[in-house]
Amino acid sequence: MAAEVIPRRPTLLLIVVLSVLFILMSLSSRTRYIGETRTLAERSVMTVFSPVPKVVNLIGGTASDMYHGYLDMRRAVNENLQLNRKVATLTAENLKLRQTESDLRRIRGLLGYSEQISMQTSLGHAVMLDTSGRFKSLIIDRGSDDGVTVNDAIVNANGLIGRVILTTKDMAKIQLVTDANCSVGSLIERTRRQGVLRGDGTNAAALHDIPTLADVKPGDRVLTAGIDGIYPKGIPIGAVVKADQGPNLFKNITVRPSVDFGTIEEVIIIHTRKIPDPVVRYAP
């Protein structure tokens, strides 16, 4: 009965509803000033519908976290890429600087050594090295145009490398002291005993013509004697590693060169004073 009456009098219903709502509003506006900001009706509605904002916040928060996580990941990936590029650049730069530092140290050593030599010197770079066969040779980037002539001595900070055996305008071929055809007038630094050093075709050399009675011990330093008309006196050649009694009057002495031929990069060319041919060929 009541359900049938209400729709026929909607205006009355509206007035009742609005009056109730107005009372509710008045209560609500009054409670705002006495500390309690939520009425019972308001709390009830909130309790019923509170799961919705909670779920929305949860989903929204998760979606936001995922989105920001994705953005952070993208940023991190880009940053990582940039850092990798930077690391590559810096590594290359570092290698270059290390190389430069190493070159500088080596060249300083060479210059320091070349200042000790009273003769005219110049600097050259090794361009080819052949120490694999019996004939040990080295090619440098200085030739006759740079004043390089046959029989110029070639050294580095560690000692004697060899001599020039062939020149072109811009290159020169060096015979290493370990070459089987190379002979150097040498002496034992400790005893000043002189002999002839010849390459043995491997990576060592043998000191010949040292009498069995001579005092030679492993570890003795061997220098150039300056008596062959090619090599200046006093250039380190190497050290005695073995000194045996030979089958005849002379000792068998093995010398390990002080230069590591596998690491030659820069060399000093000593423009030695050549003995004129008439003097060399003079026979009384």
Partner 1 sequence: MRWLRFAIGLLIALTLHSLLDSFYPNALAFFDPYIILAIYYSMGGNVLGAIIAGVTAGLVQDAFSGAIFGLHAFSLTVCAYIVAYINSRLVLRGTLAFGACLAGAILVNELVIYILVNILLKQRIEMFEQGMLVKTIFTTLFGMLVYQLLTLFLREEPVDATKRSGGW
Check binding of 125 to partner 1 (CB under 8 A). Answer: no
CA distance 214 to 156: 30
Number of residues near partner 1 (by CB under 8 A): 29
Backbone angles phi, psi at 97, to 5 degrees: -65, -40
Q: What gap in Å lies between CA 227 and CA 118, rounded to an integer?
A: 17
- Considering only residues 45 to 74 of the shown chain, the ones binding partner 1 according to CB under 8 A are 45-46, 49, 52-53, 56-57, 60, 64
Q: Residue 107: is it exposed, middle or buried by C-beta count within 10 angstroms (0-12/13-18/19+)?
A: middle
CB of 45 to partner 1, least distance (A): 4
Report residue 3 as tokens: 């359900």
Q: Per CB under 8 A, does 41 bind partner 1? A: yes
Least Å distance, CB 1 to partner 1, is 15
- Binding status of residue 29 toward partner 1 by CB under 8 A: yes
* Distance in Å, CB of 67 to partner 1, minimum: 11
| Nearest CB to partner 1, comparing residues 37 and 80 | 37
Asked if 6 touches partner 1 (CB under 8 A), the answer is yes
17 binds partner 1 (CB under 8 A): yes
CA distances from 48 to 20, 42, 44, 55, 57 (A): 21, 10, 6, 13, 16
- 279: enclosing H helix or E strand: helix 277-281
Q: How far apart are CA 171 and CA 125, in angstroms?
A: 10
Does residue 18 touch partner 1 according to CB under 8 A? yes
List residues binding partner 1 (CB under 8 A): 6-7, 10, 13-14, 17-18, 21-22, 24-29, 32, 38-39, 41-42, 45-46, 49, 52-53, 56-57, 60, 64
